[in-house]
Structure 1
Amino acid sequence: MAVAMGIYHAGSRTVQDRVGAREAADHVGRSVGRGIKPVAAAFLELQPLLVLGAADPETGRVWASPLTGAPGFVRATGPHRMSVVGGVRPGDPLAGALATDGTHVGTIALDPRTRRRMRVNGRLHPTPRGFVVEADQVFSNCPKYLQRRESYETVDRTPGEVLRGTELTARQQDFVAAADTFFLATVHAHGADASHRGGNPGFVRVLSPRELLWRDYPGNSMFLTLGNLAADPRAGLLFLDWTSGAALQLTGDARTEFGADGERRVRFTVTRVAATDGAVPLRWAPPEYSPANPRVP
Structure 2
Amino acid sequence: MTTAYHHGSLAVQARLGVQQAAAHIAPSINPGIRPVAAAFLEAQPMLVLGAAAPDGRVWASLLTGEPGFARATGPHTVSVAGGLAPHDPLAEASAAGTTVGTIALDPRTRRRMRLNGTARPSARGLLIEAEQVFANCPKYLQKRELYGSDPAGPGTAAPRTGDALTEAQLAAVRAADTFFVATTGPDGADASHRGGNPGFVHAEGPRELLWRDYPGNAMFLTLGNLETDGRAGLLFLDWESGTTLQLSGRAKTVYHLEERFVRFRVDSVVETPAASPLRWSAPAYSPANPTTP
TM-score by length of 2: 0.98
Q: Distance in 2 between matches of 1:140 and 1:190?
A: 18
1:46-195 alignment runs, 5 A limit: 46-57=43-54, 59-101=55-97, 103-155=98-150, 156=152, 157-195=154-192
User: 1:105 is matched by which residue type in structure 2?
Assistant: V
Residue 269 of structure 1 corresponds to 265
Q: Is the 8 A contact 2:149 2:277 kept in 1?
A: yes
Unpaired runs of 5+ in structure 2? none
Report percent identity of matched pairs: 63
Give the Cα separation in 1 of the matches to 2:147 and 2:92.
30
The residue correspondences of 1:21-60 to structure 2 (distance < 5 A) are 21-57=18-54, 59-60=55-56
- For this pair of structures, how many residues does the alignment match? 291
The offset of 1:197, in angstroms, is: 0.1
The structure 1 segments of at least 4 consecutive aligned residues displaced by more than 3 Å after TM superposition are none
Among 247, 253, 260, the residue aligned to 1:250: 247
Q: What is the identity, as a one-letter code, of the residue corresponding to 2:13?
A: Q
Q: Distance in 1 between matches of 2:188 and 2:277?
A: 30
Is 1:10 equivalent to 2:7 in the alignment? yes
Deviation at 1:159, TM superposition (A): 3.3
Unaligned runs of 5+ in 1: none
TM-score by length of structure 1 reads 0.97
Residue 272 of structure 2 corresponds to residue 293 of structure 1: no
Contact 1:179 1:204 in 2 (8 A): yes
Q: Does 1:205 align with 2:208?
A: no
* In 1: Cα distance, 2:187 partner to 2:287 partner: 36
Q: Is residue 139–residue 286 contact of structure 2 (8 Å, CA) maintained in 1?
A: yes
CA distance in 2, matches of 1:91, 1:134: 24
Query: 1:228 corresponds to which residue?
Result: 225
